[in-house]
Structure 1
Amino acid sequence: MQPKKNLAFLTLLLCAVYSIQAQSPDPVKVTVWYKFRFMNDTTARTEFTNESMILQIGEKLSAYQSYNGYKMDSSFNARSSSGQNIVVSGGTISGGSIVSAGPITTEKQFTILAKNQLWSLNRVFITQYLVDESVKRPEWTITGETKEIGGIACQKATARVKGRDYAAWFAPELPYSLGPWKLNNLPGLILEASDSKGEVHFELEKISTAPTNATIELPSKPSQVTLAEYLKVKAAYDADPEGFRRANAPPPPPGMSISNITVSGSPMRGASTVKPIVFNNKLEKEN
């Protein structure tokens, strides 16, 4: 009896993995830009990091990420498709212009719309993980409050999400159970949200339904893991980052070292010349 149970579990697991990998590029129908403000340092409560985020919605998939990260990915993919790959040789990175401002938020979210299945793309050191986060969807209480955002009628809802109490404004006329970050599961697109402590804000910048050549595609190479499996790896990294890196770092390419990297012929700035961003406040207070 036990072998049959194991076989059934393996079959279900393989079907889930195949359903992810079998997704073809999905044309973008709706694009939403949000302004994301986050109090990353609780000792400086009047200061926030600010970042533009982008939510792309197709027929089958949605994708949410830093807009700067999206532009970097698009630039890299365009060079790759035209044969202008970035090449590392003798400690020099070449292959066209590189977007100078990288993303602050590196995590991305993908949703398989028909299944309301949320996946987050995370990196621990050099390994990317596609994490199934569908098990914990926000449970909202819809209130009677209404207001307009960008000329769109919205309703207010409240919920506890990842250890914070959020108020969100969603638009019933936009029939997408989506929103910024991991705020979803409402009968309409979330256009604005903030937490009760005033530390997290998502505000609508603009929304577009104009035709675009952009598509959404789930990454195929990252390791697909459960939330519990990802948290275990992340905890090991957080407990001893240096030890984790030493144990998992690949050897550098021939002729390349941290001290002699140049980009398009110009030496890269050392970390000491860049003002560090202090992060003592977690966006996710709970898993």
Structure 2
Amino acid sequence: MSTTKFLLTVTIGLFFFVQKLFAQDNQVNMFIKYDLEHIADSTKKDNLIKRSMYLYIGNGGSFYSMTPMEKNQEQGALHISMDAVDQSDALVNLYTPFGTDDSPCLVTMLGQLYKVYPNKNYKIDWAITEEKRDIGGYACIKATGQFGGRKYEAWFTEEIPFPVGPWKLHGLPGAILEASDVANEVRFRYAGLDKVTDKMHLMEIDKLPELSYEKYRKALENSKADKLGAMMAQLPPDATVKFKTQDGREITREQAEALMKEAGKDKQKFQLNNPAERSIN
């Protein structure tokens, strides 16, 4: 049974609180869609983790997200994807600022929204080659770099002049459209790009409280037994919550809990023994 068939999306309305967190000067200009493939369990190489991921590019930074933003998200709708199996460490919400020395920070919901900075710097020393190819109509250049115990080959385009990329892969003089490690165990495939004409803004990270990486990891461990219950118990009493399955069908909390329990049986059969980030340089 595939560990990726079940995906629960929780839409949380924290309207008054969240509305204050969106920076009106950090307008989203475009977003890139990637198809992530990750062999996260080395004993199940034919059972890839597959997920569509989204990179939103604003004036002051980028936001790598597990779920697509909606046109009215700046009014307070949050989306959290919850998998029955803890599948891949590349499935995160990640904010990367432009023009600063700050590292990307995780954006996580643990009772409220927090920003979590890594223990070490994520800077990648890229080597730009002379190899070129076309991806999606964009002229791309190949670069190689070491990150997280893996060597990556990335294809970036100067036609999109932002130092962005999927996940924690960034820092080139143009957007990374595709990337994979040389073992071909972690892959980000280009799946499209759209300009954004509707009003959408990225979150103002400075307004979020900071949580230490150690406390974040401990909170994750504590919530593994009942991921849904742990999150629900920490929500503000006035939060409105909607549950949807991967195909967009809205369900009740009771149905969501039943699906999580059923799909969670795969958890004992699945091991995240081949993380995307094996180590931090």
Q: TM-score range by the shorter chain?
A: 0.5 to 0.7
For residues 244-268 of structure 1, give each alpha carbon's deviation from its aligned partner in whole angstroms, at most 9, with x where no partner exists: x9xxx968999xxxxxxxx648544
What is the alpha-carbon distance in structure 2 between the residues aligned to residue 48 and residue 242 of structure 1?
A: 21
> Quick check: 1:107 aligned with 2:97?
no
Q: 1:273 aligns with which of 245, 252, 262?
A: 262
Q: Return closer, same or farther for 1:276/1:221 CA change in 2, 3 Å cut-off.
A: farther
Q: 2:115 aligns with which of 130, 133, 146?
A: 130
Q: 2:103 aligns with which of 118, 123, 138?
A: 118
Which amino acid in the other structure matches residue 283 of structure 1?
Answer: A
Q: 1:233 aligns with which of 215, 218, 238?
A: 215
How far off its partner does 1:222 sit? 4.4
Match of 2:161 in 1: 175
What is the alpha-carbon distance in structure 1 between the residues aligned to residue 55 and residue 236 of structure 2?
A: 36
Q: Return closer, same or farther for 1:281/1:125 CA change in 2, 3 Å cut-off.
A: farther
Identity %: 26
How far off its partner does 1:180 sit? 0.5
What is the alpha-carbon distance in structure 2 between the residues aligned to residue 182 and residue 272 of structure 1?
A: 31
How far off its partner does 1:63 sit? 0.8
What is the alpha-carbon distance in structure 1 between the residues aligned to residue 181 and residue 37 of structure 2?
A: 11
How far off its partner does 1:173 sit? 1.8
Q: Return closer, same or farther for 1:267/1:177 CA change in 2, 3 Å cut-off.
A: closer
What is the alpha-carbon distance in structure 1 between the residues aligned to residue 236 and residue 80 of structure 2?
A: 23
Match of 2:27 in 1: 27
Structure 2 stretches lacking a partner, 5+ long: 1-20, 238-250
Which amino acid in the other structure matches residue 275 of structure 2?
Answer: K
How far off its partner does 1:168 sit? 0.3
What is the alpha-carbon distance in structure 2 between the residues aligned to residue 219 and residue 100 of structure 1?
A: 17
Higher Cα radius of gyration: 1
Q: 2:189 aligns with which of 192, 196, 203?
A: 203
Q: Return closer, same or farther for 1:253/1:118 CA change in 2, 3 Å cut-off.
A: closer
Q: Does the 8 Å contact 2:33/2:52 carry over to 1?
A: yes
What is the alpha-carbon distance in structure 2 between the residues aligned to residue 189 and residue 211 of structure 1?
A: 20
What is the alpha-carbon distance in structure 1 between the residues aligned to residue 94 and residue 217 of structure 2?
A: 21
Match of 1:161 in 2: 147
Q: Return closer, same or farther for 1:175/1:45 CA change in 2, 3 Å cut-off.
A: same
What is the alpha-carbon distance in structure 1 between the residues aligned to residue 163 and residue 134 of structure 2?
A: 18
> Quick check: 1:185 aligned with 2:151?
no
What is the alpha-carbon distance in structure 1 between the residues aligned to residue 252 and residue 177 of structure 2?
A: 40
Q: Does the 8 Å contact 1:107/1:120 carry over to 2?
A: no
What is the alpha-carbon distance in structure 1 between the residues aligned to residue 58 and residue 136 of structure 2?
A: 22
Alignment length (residue pairs): 236
Match of 1:17 in 2: none
> Quick check: 1:215 aligned with 2:165?
no
How far off its partner does 1:70 sit? 3.6
TM-score by length of 1: 0.67
Match of 2:45 in 1: 45
1:118 is paired with a residue whose SS is coil
Please state which structure has a larger fraction of its residues in helix. 1
2:210 is paired with a residue whose SS is strand
For residues 49-105 of structure 1, give each alpha carbon's deviation from its aligned partner in whole angstroms, at most 9, with x where no partner exists: 111111111111211111xx345xx49958858xxxx9xxxxxxxxxxxx8974666
Structure 1 stretches lacking a partner, 5+ long: 1-20, 87-98, 255-262
Q: Return closer, same or farther for 1:27/1:222 CA change in 2, 3 Å cut-off.
A: closer
What is the alpha-carbon distance in structure 1 between the residues aligned to residue 208 and residue 130 of structure 2?
A: 43
1:233 is paired with a residue whose SS is helix
Q: Return closer, same or farther for 1:265/1:208 CA change in 2, 3 Å cut-off.
A: closer
> Over the residues paired in the alignment, what is the CA RMSD in angstroms?
4.0
What is the alpha-carbon distance in structure 1 between the residues aligned to residue 127 and residue 146 of structure 2?
A: 10
